[in-house]
Structure 1
């Protein structure tokens, strides 16, 4: 099985430790991983801002970088969803289609493809899980609370395999954090208020850490936590699943 790691640009620039933890985690699970050196942004920021026509170069480069792999794994629900729904390289529809059908968010890949039943991980802390919107509502990584159906959560399923972790119960377990990509720029006041509410729910229930599958959401929440001088920290789920000591 040929697996490539797609590292989102904001992870590469601001949180490289998340990319490293993802690579280490996959290797611990027995996966041989390639990291194409020419990969760049997937084009999501431009497309979400109404400038999809400017992202054609990103599409071409993505196909060049990832066309020859069985799976592309990404530690970000939003970037994964963008590629799955929007990747189109002109004249290369077969390659684009193959990538769209085989790109997987990290926890999705571990649960659905690798079908991991146990992890060698230890993280003895109280943790709140933020269910990022793109992962939950776009990729179906967890059940939405408004749906009358049995609950499930692939990220939570993996976190419960971690020794010593205490997952807290939130009052609003699938509420948006307010980041929303460019939404946090165009609607700053609303975005911040939503983030404050999201942080308050975690702090109310004693979270030492807030985790998620999208570092973009966590970056938004981290800014609020820092301004509040809170001791609660953010951590990507890959870092917890890869942790042996803390």
Structure 2
């Protein structure tokens, strides 16, 4: 049953894939609740009360990853930036289970995990609270009639912009040329500047980048990654 007044949203694809391993089920049962960023879902927070990021991360700067896939990049950034708090949102439960296993093995303690739609999470993030955001190899929704479900639409970009601090960085990585086109058209409309001065600025990965399994698949299949960096207007 849907929660009253909750809007219908769905920019993501499937919620579950192949059967989870016993260890992955254990990660979900034992670790997910304690890594929750707080009351996000509409059924537990229908009034959309903002999250208390001070209580969650002890005053640390906070980053956000939208759709973390298997969690390689999220854990990498948490390990390399122990003084930063990072929230990851991902509705695909198999990816969430994979991330939880990586968190255990890496021993990082500066992550929060939301197993759901990032749009719901953005509803309860305080305004101008996020210092950096990542959108890495999002679902391309290749059919034209599905392009409205891509994250790079104003329905998602405007709430993201509201959450980001002035001057915050927004990184987008994709191997789909039409997704690049839509990103470059739509993201600036939401209050961002594209920080590119030469081809290397979108052809070469960021200095702290770790190649994900999605990127490796793209490279094997001959697709070219693009690394787009935007900055929220001050």
Per the normalisation by structure 1, the TM-score is 0.28
Per the normalisation by structure 2, the TM-score is 0.29
Q: Answer 1 or 2: which has greater helix percent.
A: 1
Q: Answer 1 or 2: which has greater strand percent.
A: 2
